[in-house]
A = this chain, B = another copy of it.
Amino acid sequence: MNGSVRVNGRVPRYHRIAEVLRERIHEGELRPGARLDNQRRLAKSFGVTLMTLRQALELLEREHLISRRHGLGTFVAAPSIDYDILQLRRFAGDLQAKGEQVTTRLVGTKFALADHRVSDALGLGPGARVLVLERLRLVDGHPMSLQRSFLPAPIGEEVVRADLARTPLHRALEVRLGLVVESARETVSAVRLERSEARELSCRTGAPAFESERVSYAAGGAPVVFDRVFIPGDRFRITRELHYESLQGATS
């Protein structure tokens, strides 16, 4: 979430200020709906100019942590809520461009220790070993999305024997292990690209992007793979073609 890793170690003042305010909000010192002190006083209390303070607020507003209202004040935003969208399928990572050449490049495969998010999602203990697959989707040779897939080590060891540069992952899972993905859970959010992802996607560090995190489950309900996909927000608009073979509880 922090986004900008500085090479020089020097963090702009307004980032630090934003960090402090962020903490006050998360710690509950400032409750949702509460009004912050006014900008001039805040600026003075941080020993900084109004303009500088405003840059900090700008950051927080973009993160939807606060909401500024001309003539009224600055307020802590309502907490985030997750909403389900009915009947949505494969959002990211599985893209098809109109008429253009879509290719997948296997950037790398390695075994590593799972971080919290990954091991939670896969139902593994903390620090479990996982196979990490990094793939780049290219459209017309231009990078379009970066997909990192994490598989539990036992599954990974079998899968990695396949020629993953040529074989789609789901195919390798099916052929080698008889695993068919039956359901999945995905979370889509907007993030800023870190240095490493930005480099792969040839974007600026900190560029806005969609991040899709997906856990896929096999028939028995066992988690098979955790995917994290980044799609730079620039130069992309999303259009979709929908076909309703059977439209169930539609509220439209």
Contact = CB atoms under 8 A, between A and B. Distances in A.
Contact of A252 (B87, B93, B96): B93
A215 to B, nearest CB: 10
Contacts of A204: 67-69
A143 to B, nearest CB: 12
A9 to B, nearest CB: 16
Interface string A167-195: 01110000000000111111111100000
Contact of A85 (B94, B190, B251): B94
A235 interface: yes
Q: Which secondary structure dominates where chain A touches chain B?
A: strand
A237 B204 CA distance: 24
Contacts of A86: 89-90, 94-96
Q: Among A86, A240, A241, A244, which residue has the most Cβ atoms of chain B within 10 A?
A: A240
A81 interface: yes
Interface of A: 51, 64, 67-69, 77-98, 102, 104, 137, 139, 144, 168-170, 181-190, 204, 207, 214, 227, 233-244, 247, 250-252
9 contacts: A64-B233, A85-B94, A91-B240, A95-B251, A169-B252, A170-B250, A181-B247, A183-B241, A184-B242
